[in-house]
Amino acid sequence: LTGTSREQRAFQYLLAHAIPGDPRHILQTFDQWCYHCEHLSCVGPDKGRIVERVLLERAPLRVLELGTYCGYGTVLLAQGLPPGARLYTIEGDPRHAAVAEKVIRLAGFSEQTVELIVGPSEEVIPRLREKHGLMKANLVFMDHWKRCYLRDLRLLESHQLLAEGATILADNVLFPGAPHFLQYAKTCGKYHCKVHCASLEY
């Protein structure tokens, strides 16, 4: 009725209530909106703690996020990066990307730290090295369409974009589920797998 999307309404709420340049407060304000106003498919605080722990353990210098959506996960990842690290995030929906870009910059992250790439992941991944300068990713966070998880993991492998010892963190593999991805990761012999139990966001 308002002519604005849920994502745009959430951003307007951020503008009114969040502290610019404070990533943690941006995330907390997002959480308040999602708990009390409208549900958004963001990572959320519970699973966010798992992401933060992995970032702290791995200290990755090159991070790739598949599925920017509103920028919640992007801000979560960016605030946990070690000095000199860079985050590349891919979003297929231009409308979501437009909101995410504003959220990322509101949180205080420049294009030198976070590069948002708009386009289908299957088209962007093969161009990451040549066009965007990503040689090898130390951490990949998958939070886009679950049916694309396996295809995109194989694309990353075939284009040799995974650093030795890279970590692949994939959200919602049990529900709504990415069974083919999970089976491949467990049986192909390239990965050590661990499933983290968590509640659904919000």
* DSSP string covering 152-166: HHHHHHHTT-EEEEE
Burial class for 60, CB neighbours closer than 10 Å (0-12, 13-18, 19+): buried
- What is the predicted pLDDT for the residue at 4? 92
Q: What is the per-residue pLDDT for 199?
A: 85
**For residues 92 and 56, what is the distance between their CA atoms, to the nearest angstrom?**
28
**Could you confirm whether 201 is annotated as catalytic?**
yes
Out of 146, 152, 164, 186, which one is annotated catalytic? 146
* 31 carries an active-site annotation: no
Catalytic residue among 91, 143, 186, 190: 143
3-state secondary structure of 138: strand
pLDDT the model gives residue 1: 62
Return d(Cα 57, Cα 145) in angstroms, integer. 27
Biggest CA-to-CA distance, the chain: 51
CA distances from 79 to 21, 29, 61, 170, 201 (A): 11, 15, 13, 19, 20
Rounded Cα distance, 122 and 140, in Å: 15
Tell me the average confidence (pLDDT) per consecutive run of 10 residues in the chain, 202 residues long: 88 98 98 96 94 97 98 98 97 97 98 98 98 98 97 98 98 93 96 91 87
Report in angstroms the alpha-carbon separations of 63 from 2, 88, 142: 36, 6, 11
- What does the pLDDT read at residue 137? 98
Which one of 7, 101, 152, 201 is the catalytic residue? 201
Chain centre distance of CA 146: 13
Q: For position 119, what pLDDT does the model report?
A: 98
Which pTM was predicted? 0.96
Query: What does the CA dihedral 41, 65, 130, 113 come to, rounded to 10 degrees?
Result: 110
Asked if 138 is an active-site residue, the reply is no
Domains and CATH numbers, the chain: 6-188 (3.40.50.150)
- Annotated active-site residue in 171, 186, 190, 194: 171
The answer to whether the CB of 67 falls within 8 A of the CB of 97 is no
Sign of CA dihedral 66, 141, 70, 200: positive
Tell me the pLDDT tens digit for each residue of 44-81: 999 999 999 999 999 999 999 999 999 999 999 999 99
**Burial, 198: exposed, middle or buried (Cβ in 10 Å; 0-12, 13-18, 19+)?**
middle
Q: What is the pLDDT of residue 18?
A: 98
The share of the chain scoring above pLDDT 70, in percent, equals 100
